[in-house]
Structure 1
Amino acid sequence: MLKPIDLMYQTMLAELGQRSLDAAWTADFPPEGRFTPVTVKQRKYWYFDIPDGSGGRTRRYVGPADDPEIAKRVEEFQVQKDDLRARRRIVTTLTREGGMVAPDRMSGDIVEALAAAGLFRLRAVLVGTIAFQTYAGILSVRLPSSVVLTGDVDIAQDFAISHEVHDSLPPIVELLQSIDPSFRAVPHRSGAAASSAFVTSSGYRVEFLTSNRGSDDYTDQPAKMPALGGASADPLRFLDFLIRDPVRTMLLHKSGVPVTVPEPSRYAVHKLIVATRRHNDGQSAIKRDKDIKQAGLLFEALLQTRRASDLALVYNEAWERGPAWQEGIRGGAAMLTNDARDRLSDCLRTGAIEIGEDITMPF
């Protein structure tokens, strides 16, 4: 049985999410800076000091201290900054005492920068293990550290959405290089000039994905994604199922980063399917094993937290999509441990009763 997270910490996570969504930061006055009063010829003026990253600071003129609009901005900034510190304390409590998962610093910094640039406003979805880390908070159970470690960030966006929002991130390479200057575009395996992946000198990877509901001819070609700041995306089968009806939650990094992730039941079913698409050697085999472990843990968590109906609904949706989906589900379920298969079976049977639908078992 997975250890539940205390109600107190669940409440703190909800409060953190609300505070983070309500916070209105401006590009002119980032939270790491501070307003400084300076008296010039017996009159006080406000300046804004920002660390320059080299131990010094840059100073920006704001205006006279007796200007009521400027005084209001300074006052609001202090309230926001105090809230930023309060949110940092909440994040620290949730990760150190509450049993929730914090990302590694690199992953957190990347997601934070992308979020600030508008990634989730543009309806992108965080997928992969970085998304799985957030399920401790969503499902209120403690997840073992062995399945939450990652060395990359995977981001998905629906192809149609990227073409319809008429907005975009800033240039993606510049954005990533603001976190690590060694980020570079990875040449696409198809030989196309476009890139869907970016990597640092140490091997940290950021990859963009999109749904492929069309011809298999698109599978090995990068898709143009106008909303991603010059990045293309790899079209993948089954991804549209994963990112349908995503949920908002918090990545527990610094003062908390509001993110969008797949609904946990969809993530679990999707992992069964994609595990069967991986090879049996090298990194692919390692990823396949992690897919199956993550799916098994989610089946246990969904059953334990009385969310069996959630799983039953999305399972039937996937099953009804046809033979290729059924084959993937059966193949993934066959890789589960005996205990995990039992939990999946119990969860589906319970969920079928709750939703009043028949379910075809995958074994």
Structure 2
Amino acid sequence: MLQRHFKVVQRLADYGFFRAGGMLIGTHAFLTFGNMLGVRWRDAQRTQDVDFAHAGEALTIALPADIAIDVHAALESLQMGLLPIEHADGGTGGTYLDPRDPEFQIDFLTPLHRGGSKPFLHPQLGIKLQPLEFMEYLLQEAQQAVAFTAGGAAVVNVPDPARYALHKLVVAGERPASRSAKSSKDVQQAAALLELLQEQAPAQIEAAWADISNRGPGWTARLKSGRAALARTAPELKPPRLLLLPGER
């Protein structure tokens, strides 16, 4: 993990973001899975995004959710020039940027809620969260892991690795053609995790698949697309027989 990314993660940990139910997601969560599962990824692609999530008002996960913290103050205390992006209507959303380095982006995400895709101001976090479709699946069954650099370590909440892999297959097909590199990275990460979990924890894949494969036709269509992309990206990977959708058995 890049040092400046770790500084953000560590500062949020110090302020209680993870104790308040926050979660590290995205590529930085993927990197922590290597520590958790005892491997070093051969090709852990660098990213300029640091992604966090919180259940918000959409669902309750098995983490404390009654701790009040000030995420904005935590980011300001870093003195890294991070500012919330302003929208055309003058409001802000769940993304912070460094104006001097626009590629360095921090996103705070949450599942879709009653307000649709409108950013949700979380009163206990003091920050807006950007709702995204399919996020609720990723936030269930949270686990603890350690994010670290040569200069330190921080205990964080991360998704269940099997859920992370299957969620990547769902969202890969959602990305526009202009973000094909991102979709490819999604599928590569899913392939790496599924290959490892087949050996170490096949029951974890089975449980995650049993949940995601019964969530309705929208999920099913995306899973089919994700499986096809998985076969193209990692033809050497033999997906478990359990990766069958209803009606295929």
**TM-score bracket for the superposition, by shorter chain length:** 0.7 to 0.9
2:225 corresponds to which letter in structure 1?
G
In structure 2, give the amino acid aligned to 1:178: S
Counterpart pick for 1:290 among 178, 185, 199: 185
Aligned to 1:179: 78
Asked whether the 8 Å contact 1:167–1:227 carries over to 2, the reply is: yes
Q: Is the 8 A contact 2:32 2:147 kept in 1?
A: yes
Cα deviation, 1:309-352, whole Å, max 9, x if unaligned, reads: 1111111211101100111111111112447356352x3x2xx4
Residue of structure 2 in register with 1:93 after alignment? none
| Change beyond 3 A, Cα 1:171–1:320 | closer
Q: Which residue of the partner structure matches residue 58 of structure 1?
A: none
Residue pairs, 1:18-29, within 5 angstroms: none
Match in the other structure for 2:161: 264
- The equivalent residue for 1:321 is 215
1:180 to partner: Cα distance: 3.7
Find out whether 1:111 has 2:6 as its counterpart.
Answer: no
Q: Deviations over 1:23-80 (max 9, x none)?
A: xxxxxxxxxxxxxxxxxxxxxxxxxxxxxxxxxxxxxxxxxxxxxxxxxxxxxxxxxx
Q: Output the CA distance in 1 between the equivalents of 2:206 and 2:45.
A: 25
> Are 2:200 and 1:279 aligned?
no
Pick aligned residue for 2:120 from 212, 216, 223: 223
> How many Å separate the matches in 1 of 2:9 and 2:134?
24
SS of residue paired to 1:343: coil
Corresponding position of 2:96: 198
Question: Compared with structure 1, are the counterparts of its residues 236 and 140 closer, same or farther at alpha carbon in structure 2 (3 Å cutoff)?
Answer: same
Identify if the C-alpha distance between structure 1 residues 288 and 171 changes in structure 2 by more than 3 Å, giving closer, same or farther: closer
**Distance in 2 of aligned mates of 1:257 and 1:105:** 13
Other structure's SS at 1:150 match: coil
Residue 166 of structure 1 deviates from its aligned partner by 4.3
> How far does residue 269 in structure 1 lie from its aligned partner after superposition?
0.4
Matched, 1:333 2:227: yes
Q: Identity over aligned residues, as a percent?
A: 27
Q: How many angstroms does 1:171 deviate by? A: 5.1
Q: Number of matched residues?
A: 241
- For structure 2, the residue ranges without an aligned partner over 5 or more in a row are none
CA contact (8 A) 1:299 1:340 kept: no
Paired residue type of 1:208: F
Q: Which amino acid aligns with 1:263?
A: D
Shift of 1:142: 2.1
Question: Who is 1:309 aligned against?
Answer: 203
> Matches of 1:110 and 1:148 in 2, distance apart?
19
Runs of 4+ in 1 over 6 A off after TM superposition: none
From the two aligned structures, give the one with the greater strand fraction. 2
Cα distance per residue 1:76-103 (max 9 Å; x no partner)? xxxxxxxxxxxxxxxxxxxxxxxxxxx1
Contact 1:248 1:261 in 2 (8 A): yes
Q: Deviations over 1:166-197 (max 9, x none)?
A: 4322251x3223324321110136x3613211
Is residue 2:147 matched to residue 1:251? Answer: yes
Q: 1:264 to 1:319 in 2, by over 3 A?
A: same
One-letter identity of the residue aligned with 2:10: E
Shift of 1:237: 1.2
Question: Which whole-Å CA distance do the structure 2 matches of 1:262 and 1:105 have between them?
Answer: 22
Change (3 A) 1:269 1:261: same
Preserved contact between residue 188 and residue 222 of structure 1 (Cα < 8 Å): no
Structure 1 residues 330, 359: closer, same or farther in 2, change over 3 A?
Answer: closer
Give distance in 1, aligned partners of 2:94 and 2:144: 24
With over 3 angstroms needed to count, the CA separation of the structure-2 counterparts of 1:224 and 1:343, relative to structure 1, is same
Q: Which amino acid aligns with 2:77?
A: S
Structure 1 position 139 matched with structure 2 position 28? no
Report the equivalent of 2:112.
212
SS at match of 1:228: coil
How far did residue 138 of structure 1 move?
1.5
| Residues in 1 aligned to 2:165 and 2:113: alpha-carbon distance in whole angstroms | 20
The gaps in structure 1 that reach 5 residues or longer are 1-102, 353-357
Deviation of 1:359 (Å)? 4.1
Bigger helix share: 1
Report the CA distance shift for 1:193/1:264 in structure 2 as closer, same or farther (over 3 A): same
* Residues 108-132 of structure 1, C-alpha deviations (whole Å, 9 max, x = no match): 0000000000000101111000110
